[in-house]
Chain A
Amino acid sequence: MKNTLLVGVGGIIGSLLRYSVVLVIPDIFVLWIVNGVGSFLLGWLSGRAIATGKATSILWTTGILGSFTTFSTFSAEWLSVAQADIGLAILYALLMTVWSFILAAFGMKWGRGLS
């Protein structure tokens, strides 16, 4: 029950942070920033948890960062690109994925170094 509430509160914070990025940054950059930064930070937290042997609070992992980043909006944006140009849409999907993976890997490497 306590964990469920922590995740819920994290969901509020993460979603509102994501919405703030929507308000401040031009539409085409939003998902690159949100998913990139969120993947980097979650990678960093996971790496730090491995290095220190102490688990990170679920408020941060499943709650805030899980909710800050999003897959469904990415799918929908992909759909609108695909309706115009399917080749560009495939490139977009691959780049977004590789971008987030690389940042998550960097974050984890960096977090592991902090033992």
Chain B
Amino acid sequence: MEFYPSCIWHEVGERIVITIIAVAAGGFLGAIVRYLVSMRVTGMLGILSVNILGSFLFGLSLRFVDEAGTFSSFWLIGFLGAFTTFSTFAVQFVETWNDGHSVKAISYALVTLIGGLLFVCMGWIFSGFILIK
């Protein structure tokens, strides 16, 4: 009985370590894949593709992944979290705006927003069809 608390702490500690490793591994891969895509498709189009594809995959995964589980830490928080980015999107907008291309900047923002939000819905709806079949 006296070992009971330490057993709980051991289990909690183990889970935290596994979660940290899962997030780190996902983040490592997600960032590298984003980097490789942005080398092939440079500028706004690359980040747009990454954010839309990442949103689709996130929506697609939601029904299959247990959000409290280790795979979710790897895939949703780590990989897709790092694969997609908001800061680059924001800075690209500001740079384009500062260069005097305000219409281009606003179009970029709107296409990213509408595309990302449309594709997360499509992923979610699509995963429903997969489950029915």
Contacts and interface: CB of A to CB of B under 8 A. Distances in A.
Given A4-B35, A7-B31, A108 B81 contact: no
Contacts of A51: none
A14 B58 contact: no
A104 B28 contact: no
B123 to A, nearest CB: 9
Contacts, number: 184
Interface residues of A, number: 51
A62 B35 contact: yes
B57 A93 contact: no
Nearest to B19: A19
A41 B36 CA distance: 23
A35 B98 CA distance: 21
A15 B28 CA distance: 8
Interface of B: 19-20, 23-24, 26-32, 34-36, 38, 51, 54-55, 57-59, 62, 73, 76-78, 80-91, 93-95, 97-98, 109, 112-113, 116-117, 119-121, 124
Interface of A: 3-4, 7-16, 18-19, 22, 34-35, 38-39, 41-43, 46, 58, 61-63, 65-76, 78-79, 82, 93-94, 97, 100-101, 103-105, 108
